[in-house]
């Protein structure tokens, strides 16, 4: 088997055939803007001035560390440009568009951060080479890193995957910033709808149970405890009303409550922004309960 010609650094780099990042075949297809960004990042290899801050990252660090030293600016070596392009491709591939974090969205709506060794493996680099490329990328302003650690019971700390955030400017370098805002809104709305379906039914079911208990108390059944105020959606008039303690509701209100109890529990619950009333439950939060406020004064 023929070996790649060595260039002195024993990394197998061939200046004429650079190795690019390739998305794993078992991964779902990424949005078009991500695929386009991965392709345009490769232009940096042949034309470093496509990303001047990255091309001068190493020289800038040397000059900052030793301002009085004789540091002559020079072009970044081709093997280092190859590593930066490969790692930037992996960064773009794992960029979650709504949050711009390097993470994998989970079913419960949380985000699983990507570890550095995973990025290095996907980029086809060894860890040490990937760390050098990451340092250039961070110094070039193409990524922001927020380290994390967890305190253990014995007082020691254990490191966790850092939060890595891609700035909008990385997309703007290649004329994709306008498209980015459109795709971020679209994907955020889609995820919100998907996460809201199940909690919608749960919150509506809880509201239905609470309304039934309140109705039993109003008509003379149920426990002696009476809420100070409870807001029930009146689906007949499509506007909420207030039932206060000591005030017997009109018969039409009771009819509206009964009508609500007969409706499908999956019917969406309307919100209200009235500041002096109890707000409707957040239908996107699975932990919401029927809003009854007890007066303890």
Q: Are residues 210 and 117 in the same domain?
A: no
Q: How far apart are CA 140 and CA 163, in angstroms?
A: 18
CB 91 within 8 A of CB 101: no
Please indicate, yes or no, whether residues 168 and 224 belong to a single structural domain of this protein: no
- The CA distance from 6 to 120, in Å, is 21
Q: Give 114-117's long-range contacts (Cβ < 8 A, gap of 24+).
A: 114/161, 114/164, 115/161, 116/161, 116/162
Please answer whether residues 113 and 147 qualify as being in contact, where contact means their C-beta atoms are separated by less than 8 angstroms: no
Q: For residues 243 and 252, give the distance between their C-alpha atoms in angstroms, rounded to a whole number.
A: 12
Does 35 score more than 90 pLDDT? yes
Residues 140 and 225 in one domain: no
pLDDT at 201: 59
Residues 169 and 57 in one domain: yes
Q: Look at residue 211 in the predicted model and tell me its pLDDT.
A: 64
Residue 153 lies in a domain: no
**Pairwise CA distance, residues 294 & 297, whole Å:** 9
What length is written for the chain? 297
- What's the whole-model pTM score? 0.61
Confidence of residue 215 (pLDDT cuts 50, 70, 90): low
Residues 89 and 140 in one domain: yes
- For residues 60 and 108, state if they share a domain: yes
More confident residue, 275 or 20: 20
Q: Are residues 56 and 162 in the same domain?
A: yes
Q: Judge whether 23 lies within some domain.
A: no
If we measure between CA atoms, which residue out of 210, 10, 265 comes closest to residue 128?
A: 10
| pLDDT recorded at residue 200 | 56
Longest dimension (CA), the chain: 91
pLDDT at 172: 92
Q: What is the pLDDT of residues 162-208, one digit of tens each?
A: 999 999 999 999 999 889 999 999 988 888 766 655 555 556 666 66
- Mean pLDDT for the chain overall: 73
Alpha helices per DSSP H over the chain: 32-41, 43-46, 52-55, 57-65, 78-93, 116-123, 127-139, 168-172, 177-218, 251-262
Looking at the fold, whether 45 and 107 belong to one and the same domain comes out as yes
Q: Are residues 128 and 40 in the same domain?
A: yes
Q: Give a yes or no: residue 27 inside a domain.
A: no
């709305």: which residue's tokens?
A: 189
- For residue 275, pLDDT over 60 is answered with no
Q: 49 is in which domain, residue-wise?
A: 32-148+158-175
Please report whether residue 253 resides in a domain: yes
What total of structural domains would you count in the chain? 2
Q: Are residues 83 and 210 in the same domain?
A: no
Residue 90 covered by a domain: yes
């Amino acid at each position: 088997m023929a070996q790649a010609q060595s260039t002195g650094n024993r990394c197998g780099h061939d200046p004429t055939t650079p190795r690019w990042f390739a998305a794993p075949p078992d991964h779902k297809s990424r949005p078009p803007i991500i695929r386009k960004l991965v392709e345009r990042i490769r232009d940096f290899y042949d034309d470093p001035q496509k990303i001047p801050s990255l091309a001068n990252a190493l020289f800038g660090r040397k000059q900052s560390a030793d301002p009085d030293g004789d540091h002559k600016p020079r072009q970044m070596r081709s093997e280092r440009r190859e590593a930066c392009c490969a790692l930037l491709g992996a960064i773009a591939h794992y960029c979650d568009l709504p949050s711009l974090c390097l993470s994998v969205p989970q079913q419960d709506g949380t985000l699983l951060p990507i570890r550095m060794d995973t990025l290095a493996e996907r980029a086809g680099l060894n860890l040490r080479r990937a760390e050098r490329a990451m340092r250039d990328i961070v110094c070039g302003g193409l990524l922001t890193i927020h380290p994390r650690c967890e305190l253990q019971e014995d007082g020691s700390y254990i490191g966790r995957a850092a939060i890595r955030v891609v700035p909008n400017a990385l997309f703007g370098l290649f004329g994709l910033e306008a498209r980015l805002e459109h795709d971020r809104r679209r994907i955020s709305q889609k995820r919100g709808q998907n996460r809201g379906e199940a909690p919608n039914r749960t919150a509506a079911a809880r509201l239905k149970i609470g309304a039934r208990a309140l109705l039993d108390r109003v008509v003379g059944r149920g426990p002696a405890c009476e809420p100070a105020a409870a807001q029930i959606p009146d689906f007949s008039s499509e506007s909420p009303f207030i039932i206060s303690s000591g005030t017997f509701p009109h018969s039409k209100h009771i009819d509206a409550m009964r009508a609500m109890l007969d409706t499908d529990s999956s019917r969406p619950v309307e919100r209200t922004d009235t500041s002096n009333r109890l707000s409707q439950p957040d239908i996107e939060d699975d932990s919401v309960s029927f809003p009854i406020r007890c007066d303890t004064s």
